[in-house]
Chains A and B, each alone.
Chain A
């Protein structure tokens, strides 16, 4: 039993990180209707930039703060570039070609990041304690072993989610963003120029990517494979629905937990490694019954 819970928790914690990446997708999709395949690449790019700056600025008075600051600036610039060079020329194009465009962005970022910062594996240490601790000792004898970095990650992710939720529900900009998703005219009528909104959203998505990048990075080291976790996040979206922040979180948890559990309990029968596709199959099966996802909105196409 304890073991089950341990697996479950570790799964859920992995899930939180998935949802962190998924959040990036959701933000951009909500506000610009773009399915941003480049989210993973943004994670890698952010992490790379951060870790290399850290290395460069290690002798300054506040390396972390500085490099964080610069990385944020970088992400803003990136957002602007994307708006200027991709979204604006492609405005009013069918969603699918925007999607393919983000494929392009992904490739470009991967290439660019590595050209700029090199392609080795960099260890990232922002002082998150790496030791493991026992929790819930009262519940199970022996308790449950969890890595404290996972705990912290979870906390950070949780905070992020909450802030974003508030941002979307309460702030004027946030509401504007939701309006944009619904229809562009409405957005204009609110008086916020579309391009401006896009920049904001991509920036926010960039920051989310940064956070995700830092956490994953400090966990696995910053390396190319980071850009692949985006692929992991896709099923999360399908499960949660593209438009729903909450969905991204729940979906992430389900996928994370499901993956781990299935690997442990089903894997042995089919030769293991099923976490490689389990999430997808889960999502796919799910699609057939609820195409719009758990929290997605139903669309009636009018003629």
Chain B
């Protein structure tokens, strides 16, 4: 059987000479790269290379000391995370940031918040707009639950779930926002082989079914090389490599700085 190759679009996200420092500590120095629509870009690098900080800059948790982020052609200086969200940027976290007190369903539902418009009064009465909205969005959420194959834990409080499933739920919450750009911070950290395989499958499916552009941080070289179209390598807050998996594999500087030491 033949499978049609998917094509990358124009530039979706562009970061220019981003530098970020906490007090005296330099987290990022003068980082630039771009992400094309529908692309899967992996950011790799040793611990403390500033990978997470990079994501935090992209969705506005941190504000770079200098440099700029251009998203969908709009260059921006300051942006709050929720603004980033409304622009279609969603993310997951290195150490799971689910809402422990809520069920899987509610957690994913929160991902729909931006899409819900019902007024306060109709919520008080849970009537009309509010109720219809709840149902309409429940449907969407159920589709995601179905997509991630977590039907059996739908109503379980997330606190009770094993680690791997929590990661899945968190991905679900991000997907619920129907993002155009999805930032995944070590989606497979601490997973066993088959969990990793599942997760990789989901990441590919997301990218494929919904055409979502994905920027992910990952330590497992195997995974990175399989999943990503392009790889950006950071080391001590500096970019030391940027290219296709193969190019990266053969990039001497990268090998010294990272692959060499880690494997």
- Indicate if A touches B (C-beta under 8 A): yes
Cβ of A303: which chain B residues have Cβ within 8 Å of it?
52, 56, 61, 93, 97
Query: In the complex, A69 Cα to B22 Cα: how many Å?
Result: 49
A281-303 Cβ-contact flags toward B at 8 Å (1 or 0): 00000000000000000001001
Closest A residue to B93 using CB positions: A303
Closest A residue to B55 using CB positions: A303
Query: In the complex, A300 Cα to B93 Cα: how many Å?
Result: 17
Distance between A303 CB and nearest chain B CB, rounded to angstroms: 6
Residues in B33-74 with C-beta less than 8 Å from chain A: 52, 56, 61
Residues in B61-108 with C-beta less than 8 Å from chain A: 61, 93, 97
Query: In the complex, A303 Cα to B22 Cα: how many Å?
Result: 14
Number of cross-chain contacts by CB at 8 Å: 6
Cβ of A300: which chain B residues have Cβ within 8 Å of it?
22
B96-135 Cβ-contact flags toward A at 8 Å (1 or 0): 0100000000000000000000000000000000000000
Closest B residue to A298 using CB positions: B23
Distance between B27 CB and nearest chain A CB, rounded to angstroms: 11
Cβ of B93: which chain A residues have Cβ within 8 Å of it?
303
Query: In the complex, A303 Cα to B185 Cα: how many Å?
Result: 10
Distance between A140 CB and nearest chain B CB, rounded to angstroms: 47
Distance between A197 CB and nearest chain B CB, rounded to angstroms: 27
A56-81 Cβ-contact flags toward B at 8 Å (1 or 0): 00000000000000000000000000
Residues in A251-303 with C-beta less than 8 Å from chain B: 300, 303
Query: In the complex, A42 Cα to B212 Cα: how many Å?
Result: 59
Query: In the complex, A300 Cα to B21 Cα: how many Å?
Result: 12
Query: In the complex, A303 Cα to B93 Cα: how many Å?
Result: 7
Query: In the complex, A49 Cα to B81 Cα: how many Å?
Result: 54
Query: In the complex, A300 Cα to B22 Cα: how many Å?
Result: 9
Cβ of B52: which chain A residues have Cβ within 8 Å of it?
303
Query: In the complex, A303 Cα to B56 Cα: how many Å?
Result: 8
Cβ of B97: which chain A residues have Cβ within 8 Å of it?
303
Distance between B125 CB and nearest chain A CB, rounded to angstroms: 32
B240-263 Cβ-contact flags toward A at 8 Å (1 or 0): 000000000000000000000000
Distance between B94 CB and nearest chain A CB, rounded to angstroms: 8
Closest A residue to B61 using CB positions: A303
Closest A residue to B97 using CB positions: A303
Query: In the complex, A189 Cα to B92 Cα: how many Å?
Result: 33
Distance between B154 CB and nearest chain A CB, rounded to angstroms: 27
Residues in A134-148 with C-beta less than 8 Å from chain B: none
Distance between B26 CB and nearest chain A CB, rounded to angstroms: 15
Distance between A298 CB and nearest chain B CB, rounded to angstroms: 9
Cβ of B22: which chain A residues have Cβ within 8 Å of it?
300
- Could you write out 6 A-B pairs with CB less than 8 Å apart? A300-B22, A303-B52, A303-B56, A303-B61, A303-B93, A303-B97
What are the 6 A-B residue pairs with the smallest beta carbon separation, nearest first?
A303-B61, A303-B93, A303-B56, A300-B22, A303-B97, A303-B52
